[in-house]
A and B are shown apart, each in its own frame.
Chain A
Amino acid sequence: MLEIKNLHVDLEDEDKSILKGVDLTVEAGKVHAIMGPNGSGKSTLSYVLSGRDGYKVTGGTATLEGVDILSMEPEERAAAGLFLAFQYPVEIPGVGNMTFMRTALNAQRKARGEDEMSAADFLKLIRAKAKELHIDADMLKRPVNVGFSGGEKKRNEILQMALLEPKMCILDETDSGLDVDAMKLVSDGVNALRDAGRGFLVITHYQRLLDHIKPDFVHIMSDGRIIKTGGPELAVEVEKNGYADILAEVA
């Protein structure tokens, strides 16, 4: 599904390299988790894959179903099936949440040569999806993420994911700022989307989230590289002993 080969990335404005040769393949139907200390490049990886400005790819490739995504505009990547659940969802005063989601869905459908969804059909769809995530009508009417609590913002991200039905989902620290109940709700939302045709890349600091969203593989990232890969037990080890042991072992 997602294939990253020897990816090197610098910050555009300063002469600083962040990713120093990332290799990672996420297969359809699998959940991969990336853990790692602060500053290891986890979030940068998610930004570069989704097309955020400010980064320069200096080497390597990233493909989605065999198609190069690094040369695409962010909206083209989204239409191709890539979705990033933001660590800090952006507040957009003046743009209604519902308008935003309908515009996004129809833009993607249009880009794929599909018919746009009618207002009535959209309303029915969004209400059903929102209900599963305990998102009330008021949250749909408010401006995008404005005045939302941390938990509401994250649920709103998952709602967008459920609506857009991407092929490849990247979750960037979706657990940050969530209490136990909210984490369960968000995780249930993600688990409901687990499917043989869909890949997940879950970036997190803590094993907690992985108790709810059980990964098939866990990767440890440090200083711009993936230094160790294992099964779910690797996350348990990190939770117990921290990163020091793993870093020392690889060094």
Chain B
Amino acid sequence: MTVANLRQSQTEARLDAVALPENAGWSQAARKDALTRVRAMGLPQRRDEYWKFTRPDTLTQAEAPEAALFTVDERAIFDDVDRLKIVFVDGAFDADASDDLSADGVTIERLADAGRTDIHWAKDIYGVLEQRGQDPVHRPLAALNTAAATDGIIIHVTGAPTRPLNLIYRHESTTSDAILHHVIKLDAGAELTLLENGPAAARLNDVLEVDIGDGASFHHVRTQGRDYERREATHVFARLGTESRFKSFTMTANGTMTRNEYVIELTGDDAIAHVAGTSMGDGDFHHDDTVFVTHDALRCESRQVYKKVLRNGATGVFQGKILVKAGAQKTDGYQISQSLLLDGDSQFLAKPELEIYADDVICSHGSTSGAIDEDALYYLRARGVPKAIATDLLTMAFLAEAVDEIEDFALQDEIKLLLEGWLERRRG
């Protein structure tokens, strides 16, 4: 079979296994269009350049590979945060576990209700930002998501809700295959903090489209569940207006396969976009962070800060690109990706890229891979700090630059607790 034929047959096999909605109301046209696009692109193949470091097969195969459930008896993240909870279990909305979906300054609806309600503004975003993000690099899993998403949250932020929204994902079936698609529109000057946590399913395909109006702010903090066997492909598509702000932080721990893509477009002058992540792999885990930031306006700032702690055969991947379009003068772009390899069995694969068509910009990128600093370790031990604790202290210090990207100190502390817990459980 030729490569093209293989791609086509695998794509059809996957499409056969998903339920394409018949009457999805306002989202129907976008879904139909996305289906055509998925067929034209085909799902990713192992030889695709964009999937050079990550095998797509388990993300694209017709059925989700089984994933054992992972139960821990410990405090859940964000438990102390006053938030509005929206719960999905294996991709299905759980009304009983969720709070009432109403709050000042925001309207919250469900994608699954699209056949019954008309949300005209969402038509301008659903599948639209995703489609804009298909050029110059194809992201077929995101198009598949637009075509086949079964549910998700459609959020319109008109003011500044006092509480963050928290999407909580639970995984209770070993074979669940969830496709969720969220859309967020922030009006000019609006503000929203979105929290996400938990393993959504045995396999999750998740898309988040965020349209950020002029002067609006979007803060996003998510932790991907500690389940060892879960698999997920996520895409965040963000479009930023003038003087708007986008900040997103992801903590990835364990998980057989994780691919997190960001596609960020700075379309208004003086906008700021920061994406950061910490990834903790201990064992046969694969964490891929793939980021594409496009500067298409004046004086915008973007930062990408990724830190990965790897041991026992874990693989970390970072593909990060900053594209500065002609005319995007005074761009300030920064990108750093670093790995801390705690043993010789782990690997970090990085592909940092800059593509610049403006002549008055500051862009820097760096990528490093290293072990614990022996001098610092000795210094700490010489002061009486046992080796295991000293190693954890230095590991937390390594992660700090990424964690510090979270603006809210209480949320920062939540993430630090989680990271420290992860390290503590692995002390020799």
Chain A residues with CB under 8 Å of chain B are 50-53, 73-75, 77-79, 84, 86, 89-95, 99-101, 103-105, 107-108, 111, 143, 160, 164
The answer to whether A75 touches B397, judged by C-beta atoms less than 8 angstroms apart, is: no
Interface residue ranges of B382-427 to A (CB < 8 Å): 382-387, 389-390, 393-394, 396-401
Selected from A90, A95, A108, the residue in CB contact (under 8 A) with B375 is A90
A73-B387, A103-B389, A107-B385 given. 14 additional CB < 8 A pairs? Answer: A51-B382, A52-B382, A73-B386, A84-B382, A86-B379, A86-B382, A90-B379, A93-B400, A95-B394, A95-B397, A103-B380, A104-B385, A105-B384, A164-B384
Selected from B389, B394, B399, the residue in CB contact (under 8 A) with A92 is B394
B396 cross-chain contacts in A, Cβ below 8 A: 94-95
The answer, yes or no, to whether B85 is at the interface (CB within 8 Å) is no
A84 cross-chain contacts in B, Cβ below 8 A: 382
The answer to whether B386 touches A107, judged by C-beta atoms less than 8 angstroms apart, is: yes
The answer to whether A100 touches B380, judged by C-beta atoms less than 8 angstroms apart, is: yes
Chain B residues with CB under 8 Å of chain A are 373-376, 378-387, 389-390, 393-394, 396-401
CA of A84 to CA of B381, assembled, Å? 11
Selected from B376, B398, B401, the residue in CB contact (under 8 A) with A90 is B376
The answer to whether A94 touches B398, judged by C-beta atoms less than 8 angstroms apart, is: yes
> B interface, by DSSP: helix, strand, loop or mixed?
helix
The answer to whether A79 touches B384, judged by C-beta atoms less than 8 angstroms apart, is: yes
A143 cross-chain contacts in B, Cβ below 8 A: 397
A108 cross-chain contacts in B, Cβ below 8 A: 384
A75 cross-chain contacts in B, Cβ below 8 A: 381-382, 384-387, 390
Chain B nearest Cβ from A189, distance in angstroms: 17
A53 cross-chain contacts in B, Cβ below 8 A: 374, 378
Selected from A52, A86, A94, A107, the residue in CB contact (under 8 A) with B400 is A94
Chain B nearest Cβ from A135, distance in angstroms: 16
A79 cross-chain contacts in B, Cβ below 8 A: 384
Selected from B386, B387, B397, the residue in CB contact (under 8 A) with A93 is B397
Closest to B397 in A: A94
CA of A68 to CA of B121, assembled, Å? 76
The answer to whether B382 touches A103, judged by C-beta atoms less than 8 angstroms apart, is: no
Selected from A91, A103, A164, the residue in CB contact (under 8 A) with B393 is A103
A92 cross-chain contacts in B, Cβ below 8 A: 373, 376, 379-380, 394, 397
> A interface, by DSSP: helix, strand, loop or mixed?
helix
Chain B nearest Cβ from A146, distance in angstroms: 10
The answer to whether B381 touches A74, judged by C-beta atoms less than 8 angstroms apart, is: yes
CA of A94 to CA of B372, assembled, Å? 13
The answer to whether A78 touches B397, judged by C-beta atoms less than 8 angstroms apart, is: no
A90 cross-chain contacts in B, Cβ below 8 A: 375-376, 378-379
The 5 nearest A-B residue pairs measured at CB: A94-B397, A78-B384, A74-B381, A108-B384, A104-B383
A94 cross-chain contacts in B, Cβ below 8 A: 394, 396-401
CA of A79 to CA of B374, assembled, Å? 20
A-B contact pairs, 9 of them (CB 8 A): A53-B374, A74-B382, A86-B382, A89-B379, A90-B378, A91-B376, A92-B376, A103-B385, A111-B386
Closest to B393 in A: A95
| B374, B384, B385, B393 interface centre (most CB from chain A within 10 Å) | B384
The answer to whether A74 touches B378, judged by C-beta atoms less than 8 angstroms apart, is: yes
Chain B nearest Cβ from A111, distance in angstroms: 7
Closest to B392 in A: A103
Chain B nearest Cβ from A102, distance in angstroms: 10
CA of A89 to CA of B376, assembled, Å? 9
CA of A107 to CA of B382, assembled, Å? 11
CA of A77 to CA of B387, assembled, Å? 13
CA of A125 to CA of B76, assembled, Å? 35
B398 cross-chain contacts in A, Cβ below 8 A: 94
A93 cross-chain contacts in B, Cβ below 8 A: 397, 400
A52 cross-chain contacts in B, Cβ below 8 A: 378, 382
CA of A229 to CA of B193, assembled, Å? 70
| B378, B398, B400 interface centre (most CB from chain A within 10 Å) | B378
CA of A95 to CA of B394, assembled, Å? 7
CA of A103 to CA of B378, assembled, Å? 15
A101 cross-chain contacts in B, Cβ below 8 A: 383
Chain A nearest Cβ from B184, distance in angstroms: 33
A107 cross-chain contacts in B, Cβ below 8 A: 384-386, 389
Chain B nearest Cβ from A81, distance in angstroms: 10
Chain A nearest Cβ from B428, distance in angstroms: 13
Chain A nearest Cβ from B276, distance in angstroms: 15
B385 cross-chain contacts in A, Cβ below 8 A: 75, 103-104, 107
Q: A94-B397, A95-B394, A95-B397 are in contact. Are A111 and B384 (CB under 8 A)?
A: yes
The answer to whether B383 touches A78, judged by C-beta atoms less than 8 angstroms apart, is: yes
CA of A52 to CA of B378, assembled, Å? 7
B384 cross-chain contacts in A, Cβ below 8 A: 75, 78-79, 104-105, 107-108, 111, 164
